[in-house]
Amino acid sequence: MLPILVEKVVYNHINKSLLEKKQKFIEHLDKEEINDFIVRNDTSETYSSFSTLHSEFLSLSRVPSNGKINQTLFVTEPRIIEDERNDYKILQYYFKYENTNYLLEIGNSLSEINDLTFVIRLFFIIVLIIIVVITFLADTFYIEYLLKPFYKIIDTKIRHVNEPESFDHTPIKTHSKDFQELDTVLNQMMDRISELFKKEKQFIANVSHELLTPIALLKNKFENLLQNESLDDNAVDKLVGSLSTLDLLKKIIGNLLLISKIENNQYEANEMIDFDVIITDLVTDLQDRIDDKKLSFKKKLEHHCSFRGNKTLMHILFYNLIVNAIKYNKPLGTIEIKDGFLHGNYFLSISDSGIGMNEKQQQNVFKRFTRVSSDQEGQGLGLAIVESIAQFHRIGIEITSEINVGTTFLLLFPNEEKIN
């Protein structure tokens, strides 16, 4: 609305100026002056004067008698002065002097006013834009300053906390009571979570002990029963099947216990690990399985990586990935392990030419008790263990797979490792 208000103020100012000029003219008016104005050699009944630049003019003329005596009107209309046409704001004043009716017109050119109004409008627009920009920047920095404690709470107490033990209970320095209350509530909540976390660890340890002990006892009894020569073949088959079931149950419990211990950070991660050595040893141990399927194994490790972590867990991680590459591969297929750099991070990839996975299978592949193919043996815990170990070492995992083409597991290591 500023341009409209500016225009209104300017026109009001012009009207006021015209009224002042009219008042001065009327105050000094007399018969002699009127005659000087009107009586001309050209017998004109009108006297006009105007400024050099045609910005103002004054006109006095005799008019017939009418009902507009002592009335002041404001009109806007074009006038031609010395062959130059301009728009004027004109004050028209009808008055009677010594029984003669006169019309006084005082005009002010609008061309300069319109130019000035345009400049003022443009000035207001520029100032408004500057004010908006300054206000936006000021508000942005001010809000950033106000919310700094909140971002600090998010960053130090939520985003980078992977387990209760690493939670920082140090109060956040802030003058806001709301943020102080938020910090206090988070500390209390994490204390409760930490307590439940400790109880869970103890529960898992107790359950694993209580389950593994009777399994071992049952297995021992079944093995003793197998020594009894009075058993017929049917009974022996049932005992052998029961022993297989107990072995499977023991293996499942062991894997679940392993995942739980990893997620509870019950392992140390301070050993220097040589991937080349681990992979070479695993390939030697699994060579029989590779030969059974007549697979071609290729190892292309061009960089020597010294990674700090848990050697046993990393051995399990590579074992499960290579075993899966063998299990889900095709006869006469290939397995390739290579390394390199991606986005500045060292990576290891394990590729096979096996059955592959669709998109849904890739999304569920790390879920516990999920198997890619029901035709293969296993409990569906191998890749769940791989994911837990990778998260423990802050290793990223990316999967690329295509049905009947193959699958690639890419391990992206954090930047702390030393690469030669």
Q: Which residue has the higher pLDDT, 114 or 412?
A: 412
- Cα–Cα distance for residue pair 298/109, rounded to 1 Å: 93
Kindly provide the residue ranges of all beta strands, DSSP E only, lying in 275-416, ordered along the sequence: 296-300, 305-309, 334-342, 345-352, 396-402, 406-412
Strand partners, 73: 92
> 341 pLDDT exceeds 70?
yes
> 229 pLDDT exceeds 50?
yes
- Cβ contact 218:246 at 8 Å: yes
Tokens at residue 196, please? Answer: 């439940």
Q: Which amino acid is residue 154, in one-letter code?
A: I
Q: Sorting pLDDT into bands at 50, 70 and 90, what band is 200?
A: confident
Strand partners, 339: 348
Distances (CA, A) of 155 to 167, 243, 391: 11, 52, 19
Helix (H, G, I), strand (E, B) or coil at 99: coil
Q: What is the mean pLDDT of residues 177-202?
A: 82
- Cβ contact 57:107 at 8 Å: yes
Q: Which residue has the higher pLDDT, 49 or 145?
A: 145
Q: Residue 61, exposed/middle/buried by CB under 10 A (0-12, 13-18, 19+)?
A: middle
> 275 pLDDT exceeds 80?
yes
In the chain, what percentage of residues exceed pLDDT 70? 87
Q: Which of 30-44, 54-68, 234-248 has the highest mean pLDDT?
A: 234-248
Residue written as token pair 């404001």: 74
pTM score over 0.75: no
- Cα–Cα distance for residue pair 335/350, rounded to 1 Å: 7
pLDDT tens-digit readout, 46-93: 555 655 566 788 888 888 877 678 888 888 888 877 777 888 888 988
- Cβ contact 358:403 at 8 Å: yes
CA dihedral angle for residue 131, residue 137, residue 140, residue 141, rounded to 10 degrees:
-120
Closest C-alpha among 276, 357, 346, 262 to residue 310: 262
Backbone angles phi, psi at 218, to 5 degrees: -65, -40
Kindly provide the residue ranges of all beta strands, DSSP E only, lying in 19-128, ordered along the sequence: 46-50, 56-62, 71-81, 84-97, 100-109
Q: Which residue has the higher pLDDT, 245 or 35?
A: 245
Measured in whole angstroms, the distance separating CA 272 from the mean position of its chain's CA atoms is: 37
Give the angle 259-164-158 at the CA atoms, nearest 5°. Answer: 110
Tokens at residue 74, please? Answer: 């404001």
Tokens at residue 379, please? Answer: 């409990």
- Cβ contact 106:48 at 8 Å: no
Residue written as token pair 């170990």: 389
What are the structural domains, with CATH classification, of the chain? 1-110 (no CATH), 177-264 (1.10.287), 271-418 (3.30.565.10)
- Cβ contact 320:385 at 8 Å: yes
